[in-house]
Chain A
Amino acid sequence: MTKQDTIRWVAKPTVFMLCLIPLAWIAWRIINGDVGTGLNANPVEQVNRYLGDWALRFVLIALSVTPLVKITNWTTPVRFRRMLGLFAFAYATLHLANYVIADQFFNWTDIWADIVKRVFITLGMATYLVLLALAVTSPKGMVKKMGAKRWRLLHRGAYLAGVGGVIHYWMMVKADLSGPIIHAAILGLLLGYRVIKRQNKSTAPARNSGKMQMV
């Protein structure tokens, strides 16, 4: 097996299965009802928080690929970035579906009222639209179709998704901000790294000019 084959047939399916573990875990708990490791008394809220947490985590994981590659000079993780981003989108979709179906039961009047009245929901929806745009334009062919420059610009939206997700989480919490603070700190590191790199780059001679540009 060549290295390419290993990535394609072993590493990618493995990472894919790993990314499904959080989903399998919550599905198992829903199926098992309220016994043992099952859900608590308010399963709709519990599932909603859980899926939202994982959507945000996958955004952060996807955003950590570039710093990881630049720091270690190990380029393989770049091959997984799209998959990780799509998992962020998938968990965000389930998070939204849980809200629309289980929580509001397709009551569009109430959903619209929530979007208009509650800033954290407005922001959550906007963040979801960003992830949707990134997901739709994620196939390789789209880079050519859109032009690499425009595609890259659009996919800087991943930063927005991170910021939107963290603020959405922050505003949702009543009093204990430890969760949002941790996620904000990680996001701060990931985005801060990019800002510093960019500043260095604009002052230093272009060393990377031939290499693939990374978002």
Chain B
Amino acid sequence: MLIKNKILSDIKSSEITPKSVFMNRRHFIKSAAIASAGSALMPGLLSSSALAATDPKRGKPLVGIIKSPLSTSEEPTPYNHVTTYNNFYEFGTGKDDPAVMAGDFKPRPWKVQVGGEVGKPGVYDFDDLIRPHKLEERIYRFRCVEAWSMIVPWVGIPLAEIIKRFEPTSKAKYVAFETLNDPERMPGQVRRVLSWPYVEGLRMDEAMNPLTLMAVGLYGEELLGQNGAPIRLVVPWKYGFKSIKSIVGIRLVDTMPPTTWNRSAPHEYGFYANVNPEVSHPRWSQAKERRLGGGYFSPKVETLKFNGYGEEVASLYDGMDLSKSF
């Protein structure tokens, strides 16, 4: 079994296509598709601009990114998978819906309302929120409650640094986050598959943990709509649904805030939602996960407690029964 895993993981890492190569390939395929469609419809009238255009479905490059020692050395999941396989019901419930439906999403101008137990409440413009900080690249494991996982090279700022600027009061025990609620910009919100707006929360010590990131980009570029543009949470030791996207509200509060999936199915999704192979979910065993990018025949890998971040975060839950506080 060990030998088999080794061989398979070897194949996996060597099979990962460098970004530049697959981008060229994507571009080539796209161009070829446009060319063939074009020539089929109007032979001889093929416009050269269609071939020359750069891929409009990429985020703007971010500059001045520093590397972080908190990054994993694992090979990131290919860009096209990270940006086309998404759970973001605000843009449709299919995995490939967000990439399509968020194509026209304009993440600017963007305001974030900050309130609750803070000394500096107010409406912060996205740029004002981000500008004072250095952007870091954090390559994290990302584990979905649906038993799949990715390795994502996020770009962002530790949440703690942002929260400190709001000057939390001693009453601040939790942080409550809210996603944009605007069915015109987020067409999936027309249907009430979940109660909108999507809300999430963290305990204060979880929010202030150095691993907790406010991401504004991935793969060195601004976030695309389907990945939670322009600003989202990343909590790498928790299931993906905790990492709320397209945030417009941050409130520091003294009681545990409601969270969307917990409201939707309280016996399935708890407030903590720490990655835990020992605590099974009614729909999925959480003991293993499928690492995306390996193709149809890649086997599952063992899930690590706290998604492998136990050293950094296990102490936050000392004395808690994690099978009850799931």
Q: Name A's B-contacting residues (CB within 8 A).
A: 30, 33-36, 39-47, 102, 105, 110, 113-114, 117-118, 120, 172, 174-178
Interface string of B244-263 (1 = CB under 8 A from A): 00000000000000000000
Q: Are B285 and A41 in contact (CB under 8 A)?
A: no
Interface string of B271-288 (1 = CB under 8 A from A): 000000000101101011
Q: Are B296 and A40 in contact (CB under 8 A)?
A: no
Interface string of B287-326 (1 = CB under 8 A from A): 1101011011101100000000000000000000000000
Q: Are B85 and A118 in contact (CB under 8 A)?
A: no
Stretch at the interface among B89-97, B113-121, B171-179: B89-97
Q: Out of A42, A114, A175, which one reaches B85, CB within 8 Å?
A: A42
A192 to B23, CA, bound (A): 53
- Residue B133 CB within 8 A of the other chain: no
Q: Are A40 and B96 in contact (CB under 8 A)?
A: yes
B residues less than 8 Å from A43 (CB atoms): 295-296
Closest to A176 in B: B93
Main secondary structure of the interface of B (DSSP, over half): loop
Extra contacts besides A41-B84, A41-B150, A117-B280 (7): CB < 8 Å: A40-B81, A42-B290, A43-B296, A47-B296, A172-B283, A174-B283, A175-B89
B residues less than 8 Å from A45 (CB atoms): 146, 148, 290
Query: How many residues in B have their beta carbons less than 8 Å from beta carbons of A?
Result: 34
A105 to B294, CA, bound (A): 15
Closest to A104 in B: B300
A42 to B146, CA, bound (A): 11
Give residues of chain B (104-129) contacting chain A, Cβ–Cβ below 8 Å.
none
A-B pairs with beta carbons under 8 Å apart, 22 shown: A34-B295, A35-B25, A35-B29, A40-B84, A40-B96, A41-B95, A41-B150, A41-B293, A42-B148, A43-B295, A44-B296, A102-B297, A110-B285, A110-B287, A120-B283, A174-B265, A175-B89, A175-B194, A175-B264, A176-B89, A176-B193, A178-B191
Q: Name B's A-contacting residues (CB within 8 A).
A: 25, 29, 33, 77, 80-81, 84-85, 89, 93, 95-96, 146, 148, 150, 191, 193-194, 264-265, 280, 282-283, 285, 287-288, 290, 292-293, 295-297, 299-300
A34 to B95, CA, bound (A): 15
B residues less than 8 Å from A178 (CB atoms): 191
